[in-house]
Amino acid sequence: MITLSESQAQRSTPQDSRLRVVLLLDVQDGAQDRFLDAYEQLRHQVASVPGHVSDQLCQSIENPAQWLITSEWESAQPFLTWVDSAAHRAMVRPLHGCVRDTRSLRFSIMRETSDTGTFDSSAPALTARPASPDGLVRHALTFTVRPGSEAKVAEILSGYNSPSARVDERTRLARTSLYMQGNRVVRAVEVVGDLVAALRHVALQPEVRAVEEAINPYLEEARDLNDPLSARDFFKRAALPAVHHAAARGEAPAKVYRHAFRYPVRSGRGAELAELLHRQDQASADDPAGVLVRSTVFQQGDVLVRQVDLAVPAKSAPKVALGVRDQQAGAMLARLTELGSDHGEPGDDAVRLLLAAWELSLVTDRSSD
């Protein structure tokens, strides 16, 4: 870990200003759950350290092995006192067995833009665990096409030849599910190994390039994937990362029904709705008699898509399919979506109507197995 001595920090930073500490981590393959468990324990311990204000854990949307921990301190002095202590060394010891490399950076906060000017201590604790027990990394992209072109775009997207699934010795493309709802396209991928390597591999395949070029004239927002800057901007705004995953224990049934739903999120409530759906899905996954096989919530801001695999068709278990297995969750769903709180808990008939209204049409679903 790169560190500054106390004297160096005192010379280079104003000691009465707040301090931002940035810790970059590379988590070992297969160690993500142990890392998250260690962080969950560590963050509660650090919260009691004098001078600590807040911390946040982030995962790269391009490389799931890369993580970022940021923390804010009242000033440099309490952090430096703590980081050089035996207590600090004991606290971080559980991280050593699951982190390949770290780098620590420290910055004084000189200017700040905020809606409220205060730290929101009511923010929910870390609960997102995008890694899947089946070892797959999931990611999605979403974009819109010009109204009236939907049928043509669906024809193009369903007619392409699948590219080679193998990327390298440790990475392969496992499955691609492509959906449409109105003029919105959602492409969800499942990857074994390095997500970034897999996406780059797919983007370079002639079969995929031909399809992307064919749909370019129909896009609402123009792009040029041959221009690195244009391509970067497209993938940045189209990214729909997996923020939650739940899966039932045991072997999946031979017949699995895949569905995807896009939720009309009320402005600013995307993360809250994602958390609600994850809690409901985890309860369904833990039910020995449940029909949910696995689920993934993809969310970026107020764009939220939930993909579920069920042991029965969605219409046979509509509440589980929609992610509202109990009464309280139904009422919360109404408050967090454009249904509005005045609707209250949706009844069985309303749930079935919402399933039909919010479900994305499956254009193509291709597995490398």
Query: For domain 136-362, which CATH number applies: 3.20.20.70, 3.30.70.100, 3.40.1390.10, 3.40.640.10?
Result: 3.30.70.100
Question: Three-class SS of residue 263?
Answer: strand
Handedness of CA 369, 364, 172, 239 (dihedral sign): negative
Q: Which residues contact 137 (CB under 8 A, 6 or more apart)?
A: 64, 131, 190, 191, 192, 193, 195, 242
Residues 300, 279: Cα–Cα separation, whole Å: 18
Strands across the sheet containing 184-192: 257-264, 303-310, 292-300, 239-247, 136-144, 184-192, 172-181, 361-367
pLDDT the model gives residue 8: 38
Q: Is 262 left (phi over 0), alpha (psi -120 to 50) or beta?
A: beta
Q: What is the rounded end-to-end Cα distance, in angstroms, of the chain?
A: 41
Establish whether domains 6-108 and 136-362 are of one fold. yes
Q: Where are the domains of the chain?
A: 6-108, 136-362
Q: Which pLDDT value is given to residue 18?
A: 80
Residue 285 C-beta-side C-alpha neighbours within 13 Å: 23
Q: Give the SS3 label for residue 287.
A: coil
Amino acid identity, position 87: A
Q: Which residue has the tokens 């004297």?
A: 7
pLDDT value at residue 125? 32
pLDDT at 89: 82
Q: Which residue has tokens 């197995």? A: 369
Amino acid at 39: Y
pLDDT, one tens digit for every residue, the chain (369 residues): 333 333 333 333 444 578 899 999 999 888 888 889 888 888 888 887 888 888 899 998 888 889 999 998 888 878 888 887 888 888 888 888 888 888 888 888 777 664 434 333 333 333 333 445 667 888 899 999 999 999 999 999 988 777 778 888 888 888 999 999 999 999 999 988 877 777 777 777 888 888 889 999 999 998 888 777 777 778 878 888 888 899 998 888 889 999 999 999 999 889 899 999 999 999 999 999 999 999 999 998 899 999 999 999 999 999 999 999 887 888 889 889 987 544 445 667 888 899 999 999 999 998 875
State in words which class domain 6-108 has.
Answer: alpha beta
Pairwise CA distance, residues 365 & 166, whole Å: 18
Question: What is the pLDDT, as a whole number, of residue 194?
Answer: 78
